[in-house]
Amino acid sequence: MVSTTAKTTTYFNFIDGSWVQSVSGNVFENRNPANQDDLIGVFQRSTRADVERAIDAAARAYEGWRLVPAPRRAELLFRAAQLIAERKELLARDMTREMGKILDETRGDVQEAIDMTYFMAGEGRRQYGQTVPSELRDKFAMSVRQPLGVCAVITPWNFPMAIPSWKIIPALVCGNTVVFKPATLTPLSALSFVKILEEAGVPPGVVNLVTGGGADVGDVLTASDRVRVVSFTGSTDVGRTVSEKSAPSFKKVHLEMGGKNVIMVMDDADLELAVEGCLWGGFGTTGQRCTAASRVVVHESVYKPFLDRFVQRARALRVGDGLDPRTQMGPSVSAGQLETVQKYVEIGRREGATLACGGHPLIGGDYAKGFFHEPTIFADVQPSMRIAQEEIFGPVVSVVPCKSFEEAIEIGNGVSYGLSASIYTRDINRAFAAMRDMYTGIFYVNAPTIGAEVHLPFGGTKATGNGHREAGTAALDVFSEWKSVYVDFSGRLQRAQIDTAEL
């Protein structure tokens, strides 16, 4: 799995049950975004040849793995969940080092992988089909799930263990095999997850890990005729490319993409609770969540008191290294992500929004070696402004005034995305109306836009996704297909929809 010298640790790909170098011989570095002097390790810069080898291994392994009874497959996954739980703290610390979010959040990321793995392992005995009465005599009718084959799993850096678990575990319990391409910014968490699956007893070739860039690895996976499912989480622009490259071979494509999520604070809201929710929703994970609450729509009658409290609390957030238990918000994941945040802050200024707090990168002193930015709030934002329409993926929140509940709903729905939304109100009628009228895949009442649980479907509408869902039993529909089975025990030809006269 690794090769360690006095200065660096080199990590390998996992193909056909073995930890191997890339045929290219090239590697890339993984460094701590809070401290660029901290070299976590070097990882394989894979090529088409590495990917093809991984697909070969997955295709061969599929022929045996699909025949393993689902309850037996599940037993291995239960063991994997136990191993993740045993190593939770180590995995969380590694994750904080490589992507920056605070330890409480990386512990939550690992816990989500534990929860998902336990939940999906339970589906080894619950992949229910249907049995129905036939319209003909002496005929039995039922439906069963069947696996699809080799699955390509392409994951982002912001939840480097939770999101792989959402995809890989249901793929495995359904009887598929996997080629896994993690984000280049978080390969260690991905490698640790695969190592645990190996230790749990998943056979060679069933799970394969290939690290490297999107063009070198991801494009090969999406174009391959032998890959039957692509499950991708990332930006909408890249998701569109994944869909286009996958289309010629008619493979199933599952896309989970961007968000521009809204919290609506009504005139009857508990303002202190709403402020707490907006802080967590907007600045948790440094705003680097697809479910982040980057828009807050506030009724004009409570706009000023809400804004004053929100700004005061945001200014007080402690920014720093996520390994420090005092830190409340970590760094951006990379220099490029920090530049994106700065670009949008400048856009907000030019658009005429009021910079209520923040707006600057944090440099020098404890921040000198990382990618830090102040928690930033824009006030008096118009719904049409770019900062209120485009996904920033950073610690920038736009506060938009509204005159009524109906206007809040209109503003909330007035973006190209449809992942998550929230309302703070004490009025149950408003809560249910918002629940109905917001066109999103996830909705919260008196809670922020983040906090999904593994036993319910996760996903969005419009430019957020293409109709599939992760988590819950809905994930089984991504990684399996339905087969309808008819057994005629009449001993004679019976013609459905034709031979209907006999009673």
CA separation for the pair 482, 269 (Å, rounded):
46
Active site (annotated) includes residue 346: no
Token pair 């109905």 is found at 436
Amino acid 256: pLDDT: 95
pLDDT in tens, 319-361: 999 999 999 999 999 999 999 999 999 999 999 999 999 999 9
Amino acid 247: pLDDT: 93
- Nearest of 148, 146, 147, 152 to residue 224 by alpha carbon: 152
Which helix or strand (DSSP H or E) is residue 288 part of? none
In this model, does residue 3 exceed pLDDT 70?
no
Give me the helix-helix angle, 187-200 and 70-86, nearest 10°: 130
Q: What percent of the chain has pLDDT over 90?
A: 96
Residue 503, judged by CB atoms within 10 A of its CB (0-12, 13-18, 19+), counts as: exposed
CA separation for the pair 131, 142 (Å, rounded):
4
- Residue 120 has which token pair? 């999906």
Amino acid 499: pLDDT: 81
How confident is residue 502, by pLDDT bands cut at 50, 70 and 90?
A: low
Amino acid 497: pLDDT: 87
CA separation for the pair 112, 88 (Å, rounded):
11
CA separation for the pair 41, 247 (Å, rounded):
36
Query: What is the mean pLDDT of the segment spanning 52-60?
Result: 98
pLDDT in tens, 239-276: 999 999 999 999 999 999 999 999 999 999 999 999 99
- What's the fold here for domain 52-257+465-483? Aldehyde Dehydrogenase; Chain A, domain 1 (3.40.605)
Rg of the chain over Cα atoms, rounded to whole angstroms, equals 24
Q: Are 281 and 258 in contact (CB under 8 A)?
A: no
Which residue among 151, 174, 278, 290 is the active-site one?
290
Mean pLDDT over each residue of the chain, to the nearest integer:
96
CA separation for the pair 361, 345 (Å, rounded):
10
- Residue 445 has which token pair? 């009442």
For the chain, residues classed under CATH 3.40.309.10 are 262-445
| pTM score | 0.95
Query: What is the mean pLDDT of the segment spanning 27-31?
Result: 96
Amino acid 191: pLDDT: 98
Active site (annotated) includes residue 151: no
Amino acid 501: pLDDT: 60
Which helix or strand (DSSP H or E) is residue 209 part of? strand 207-209
For the chain, residues classed under CATH 3.40.605.10 are 52-257+465-483
Query: What is the mean pLDDT of the segment spanning 54-74?
Result: 98
Which helix or strand (DSSP H or E) is residue 346 part of? helix 335-351
- Nearest of 137, 119, 91 to residue 475 by alpha carbon: 119
Close Cβ partners of 122 (under 8 Å, ≥ 6 residues apart): 74
Amino acid 7: pLDDT: 73
Give me the helix-helix angle, 103-122 and 162-173, nearest 10°: 10
9 forms beta bridges with 4
CA separation for the pair 225, 219 (Å, rounded):
12
Architecture of domain 262-445: 3-Layer(aba) Sandwich (3.40)
Which residue among 256, 374, 391, 470 is the active-site one?
256
Query: What is the mean pLDDT of the segment spanning 108-115?
Result: 98
Q: Are 462 and 239 in contact (CB under 8 A)?
A: no
In this model, does residue 6 exceed pLDDT 60?
no
453 forms beta bridges with none
Encoded amino acid at 95, one letter: M
Amino acid 46: pLDDT: 96
DSSP code string of 72-128: HHHHHHHHHHHHHHHTHHHHHHHHHHHH---HHHHHHHHHHHHHHHHHHHHGGG---
- Residue 489 has which token pair? 């025990």
Amino acid 216: pLDDT: 86
pLDDT in tens, 218-242: 999 999 999 999 999 999 999 999 9
